[in-house]
Structure 1
Amino acid sequence: MQAESQRKSKLRLFADRKLALMLALGFSSGLPFLLVFSTQSAWLRQAGVSRQHIGLMSWVALAYSFKFLWAPLLDRYDAPLLGRWLGRRRGWMALTQFGVAFCLVGVAFGDPAHNLAWTIAFAFCLGFSSATQDIMIDGWRIAIAPPEEQGEMSAASQIGYKFAILCAGAGALYIAKFESWRAAYLAMACLMAVGLGASLLAPEPAAHIVAGPERHINVIAAYRDPLKDFFQRNGRFALLFLALLSIYRLPDFVSGVMANPLYIDLGFSLADIANVTKLFGFWVGLGGIFAGGVAVTRFGLMPSLLIGGIAASASHLALAALAARGADIRMLTLSVCVENFAGGFAGTALIAFMSSLTSPLYAAAQYALLSSLYALPGKLLGGFSGFAVAAFGYPAFFIATSCIGIPVAAICVIVWRIQARQEAAASQPEAA
């Protein structure tokens, strides 16, 4: 009896250890996300880089949208050097974390006002390293914990991610204001030690896909099987689901590129931006995430998805009002509150929708594909956002991005009806 009690105690301790490691790895995953572009856009604008070039610079983050291209290979082959010492998943996590830290140091020693090419090169490598780190952290989470623990693991990851966003947003802006942008990026590079430490302490999952002598066949299957399963399960509606996924957060990605340049051009200080958008907006965004989770549970996925899509798009009208009104701190606070709450709500609904499209058998590959797809169109169009602002001005630009909510709402209604018919058809045999 005592031995059984000790065994259960050890299991609980191991579970707590995994959650603590997941919290640290979530932090490591979230830290470089804003530093790849969003925070950096404020630096670029202060350095005198044009809005057109800032918009084009958003393409350095396209690695997040194309990570599905190399994700299956990382599941099958060990990391160079570190793989033999740490294992496949831990080796890749540690290698990519070294890469992220190195690229952050490279960006720190850049001078975008006089040598933009240096900044672009290191920012591109930073995006690639960060996206690859995300693949391996998601893979470790799925492989190390059984399905019944994935909810807790995901929650720990999101909490760590949110606090990393706070550090990379408000923290970096504060350091830049009171010290320098170089100090800000060097500090963020040092914070990558949190994730690296977690990778060294993390247990290596026991199960791995074995790449046999016919490796080319394994590689082909890695790409083929998840896609085949997705289209077989969703049939003729698969492309419609993908269309909804690809435009759902399109307004946020396109308008987000120009948000910080708008604040800078209106005359807000870095401290104002950090206080309102990063600190205050952080808690409002958490409220939106919580509200989205409650709505999905209480009202269902599709109603929540529809409400979130409309709200997230319409929230950009507040940015248009801010641009028209000028440097009003109260209007800045209102617009940030509206946008962050709506974005948090919509993001929660979108994650639930992507999860509903994913098969447990191919969860890692399919989720990587879907999470890449939903961001790709917005990031591609976001590269032209600076030209749109230069041609039409900030108010017209943000009004235009809000109008994307019209097709989003229309497709949501169509998908809702399709799923309702499918559920009704599936319940008929049971009723009979």
Structure 2
Amino acid sequence: MRGFASPAAIVLAIGGLYVGQSIIGGLTFIALPSVLRDRGLPLDQIGLTYLAVLPWALKFLWAPAIERYRLPPVGQSRSRSIVLVTTLLSALGLCLASLIGPTSLVPLIAVFVIIAFAASTGDIACDGHAVETLSERHHGWGNAAQVGGAYLGSALGSGLFLVLVAGLDWRWATLAMAALLVALALPFILSPAPPSPGSRTHQPSLGQALRRKDMRIGLALAAIYVVAQKWGVAMLGPFLIDSGLDLASLGIVNGLGGMAVGFGCALLGGALVRLWGAPVVMVLALVLQALALAGLAAAAWHGAAPRSVLLALGLTSSSGLMALGFVALYAQFMALSDPRQAGVDFTLLQCMDALVSMAGGVSAGWVSQHFGYGTCFALAALGAMIAAPAAWLLSRHAVRARREPETEPGLATGP
């Protein structure tokens, strides 16, 4: 089952997909709000772009069906056909967005919701394929491809895209991203399929996940942690634009700076998780995030901070501390996922992340529009401080619940 391709080839193939998915995320949630603000749209409307998180938040609803289709009772997996279709739909959606333009907000958001639906469905197949084809001793490389690919893709989607918009225009920049998506998916689509394992008997389901106490605690942990880490940076791009930074400069900072800082802190986070454990690293990231957000609040209220200080605070909060903390959070997700249906379990936890992120993006735009950036950043800093002890307690309770003897028949006890 695992001998059809080398681990390096598998990691390279899935890494390309993770980069492509993160290009879409960086373009939608980082670059697009900056472009819209540059075109003069109000902040409460810009916050509506976070509605494109909805498919990522709800993909747990169709994840079991996708897994059952991907892994038929007999025969080879259908991972490649799923990825092919979803990649082409995403690319076609970007082509359509290039024709709509950045000022027709409602149809543009509708298109990006469709793109997100396609990308999130492909992500289910990609995650399942990674678990299926990589042996346990190579899972770390798969996780590195996910984290590293996320920051590289986000840098391309937020940084390179803004540079192209400034240097060319919206249409050509968006078409370039569509072509890049297809190119990144080709190594996976053209790679050989794994041999069929024979018959498959397990039927993935949400019911098994939701009946487990450790998964319910994990969902609460994901919600609290994402509130603290993500809500404060939702309006960071528009804030920097309003502070006088042009799109090209912001693109360079998001691209090169975000990739370097984010990737470096992701590696640091992996080392610290191995050394101290995920709960300690999550608390550390939340406390540091609170300090960074407090600095942004002070800069917004006083309005006299140098651009270098604003950029340093922005990179620290949106790239560095986000990477540090989410490596630890995703380590918790992996520990809580039942190996027999890891794709469904991991997807469910990711969906809580996405749902809370969407609510945060919309509410952050409303607060910033009516009460100012300073209030938005200050509330987020307070939330991060409150979330730190809560995250610690929930993490410990989840570990204990995972080790409890199984009380319901038919449920997996985990590794």
> What is the 5 A alignment of 1:397-416?
397-415=376-394
Which residue in 1 is equivalent to 2:219?
Answer: 242
Which residue in 1 is equivalent to 2:49?
Answer: 57
Which residue in 1 is equivalent to 2:184?
Answer: 195
Does residue 136 in structure 1 map to residue 136 in structure 2? no
Aligned match for 1:94, one of 75, 84, 87? 84
1:178-230 alpha-carbon deviations (Å, 9 max, x no partner): 11111111100010122331232123244589799xxxxx97x62323333x3
TM-score, normalised via structure 1 length? 0.84
Structure 2: give runs of 5+ residues left out of the alignment.
Answer: 406-415
Which residue in 2 is equivalent to 1:335?
Answer: 313
Separation in structure 2 between the aligned mates of residue 209 and residue 32 of structure 1, nearest angstrom = 36
Separation in structure 1 between the aligned mates of residue 64 and residue 252 of structure 2, nearest angstrom = 41
Which residue in 2 is equivalent to 1:363?
Answer: 342
Report the AA paired with residue 333 of structure 1: L
Secondary structure (helix, strand or coil) at the match of 2:235 reads helix
Secondary structure (helix, strand or coil) at the match of 2:193 reads coil
Which residue in 2 is equivalent to 1:255?
Answer: 232
Aligned match for 2:246, one of 241, 265, 269? 269
| Structural RMSD (CA) | 2.9
1:15-72 alpha-carbon deviations (Å, 9 max, x no partner): 3322322232222222211122321111211222211111122112221111111111
Query: RCO (CA 8 Å, sep 6+): is it higher in 1 or 2?
Result: 2
Report the AA paired with residue 365 of structure 2: G
Which residue in 1 is equivalent to 2:409?
Answer: none
Name which one, 1 or 2, has greater alpha-carbon Rg: 1
Which residue in 1 is equivalent to 2:411?
Answer: none
The percent of aligned pairs where both chains have the same amino acid is: 24
Decide whether aligned partners of structure 1 residues 121 and 211 sit closer, same or farther in structure 2, where only a CA change above 3 A counts: farther
Contact 2:14/2:188, CA 8 A, preserved across alignment: no
Contact 1:24/1:198, CA 8 A, preserved across alignment: yes
Secondary structure (helix, strand or coil) at the match of 1:267 reads coil
Which residue in 1 is equivalent to 2:413?
Answer: none
Secondary structure (helix, strand or coil) at the match of 1:204 reads coil
Separation in structure 2 between the aligned mates of residue 142 and residue 425 of structure 1, nearest angstrom = 25
- Aligned-pair CA distance for 1:125: 0.7
TM-score, normalised via structure 2 length? 0.87
Contact 2:159/2:252, CA 8 A, preserved across alignment: yes
Decide whether aligned partners of structure 1 residues 406 and 240 sit closer, same or farther in structure 2, where only a CA change above 3 A counts: farther
Q: Which moved more, 1:181-190 or 1:33-42?
A: 33-42
Report the AA paired with residue 364 of structure 1: G
Decide whether aligned partners of structure 1 residues 422 and 170 sit closer, same or farther in structure 2, where only a CA change above 3 A counts: closer
Decide whether aligned partners of structure 1 residues 204 and 240 sit closer, same or farther in structure 2, where only a CA change above 3 A counts: same
Report the AA paired with residue 309 of structure 2: M
Separation in structure 1 between the aligned mates of residue 401 and residue 42 of structure 2, nearest angstrom = 50
Report the AA paired with residue 152 of structure 1: W
Which residue in 2 is equivalent to 1:82?
Answer: none
From the two aligned structures, give the one with the greater helix fraction: 1
Separation in structure 2 between the aligned mates of residue 174 and residue 423 of structure 1, nearest angstrom = 47
